[in-house]
């Protein structure tokens, strides 16, 4: 699958936040990664942001997206050792947002499986030093397409 340049730019220019103890922290503001916003519980592990909203980037009704979100949370919980935080990705203008989860203590393979299971064509990965975007490639596998 070839990811459209416009979609890549949208992903790159999104604002990504996570919620911890009812407080929202910005990880990515569309230009810069705030590594100090990663919660201490993550302990230097990779943090992945994945959503169940709008599979294949095709808009779904809000109720269906919320139902899919609950299913994703259930699947993350079934992974056992995985930790998670509620996340939101939104456009710079705030006109579009998608909720999901920032998950850690999981392998990239597990994240790939979750993303595929919920029809996603991309997700974010935060390492201690970089923000990365992974997207489905022509072989149906997730490959890194951007690292900042």
Answer whether 3's CB lies under 8 Å from 145's CB.
Answer: yes
Domain-wise residue ranges, the chain: 5-29+43-147
The answer to whether residue 2 scores a pLDDT higher than 80 is no
Hey, which residues does 144 pair with through a beta bridge?
134
Residue 91's contacts (CB-CB under 8 Å, 6 or more residues apart) are: 10, 13, 14, 15, 97
Q: How confident is the model at residue 57 (pLDDT cuts 50, 70, 90)?
A: confident
Interval 83-136: pLDDT, tens: 999 999 999 988 899 999 999 999 999 999 999 999 999 999 999 999 999 999
Element (H, E) at 145: strand 142-147
- What's the chain's average pLDDT? 94
**DSSP states of 67-134 as a string?**
HHHHHHHHHHHTTSS-EEEEEEEE-TTSS-EEEEEEEESS-HHHHHHHHHHTT-SEEEEE-SS-EEEE
């Amino acid at each position: 699958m070839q990811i459209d340049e416009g979609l890549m730019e949208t992903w790159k220019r999104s604002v990504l936040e996570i919620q911890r103890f009812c407080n929202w922290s910005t990880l990515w503001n569309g230009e810069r990664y705030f590594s100090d916003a990663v919660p201490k519980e993550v302990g230097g592990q990779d943090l992945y942001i994945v959503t169940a909203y709008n599979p294949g980037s095709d808009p779904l009704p809000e109720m269906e997206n919320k139902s899919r979100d609950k299913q994703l949370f259930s699947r993350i919980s079934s992974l056992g050792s995985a930790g998670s935080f509620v996340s939101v990705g939104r456009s710079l203008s705030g006109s579009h947002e998608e909720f999901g989860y920032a998950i850690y203590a999981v392998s990239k393979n597990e994240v790939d499986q979750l993303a595929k299971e919920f029809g996603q064509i991309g997700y974010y990965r935060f390492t201690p030093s970089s923000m990365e975007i992974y997207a489905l490639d022509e072989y149906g596998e997730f490959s890194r397409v951007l690292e900042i």
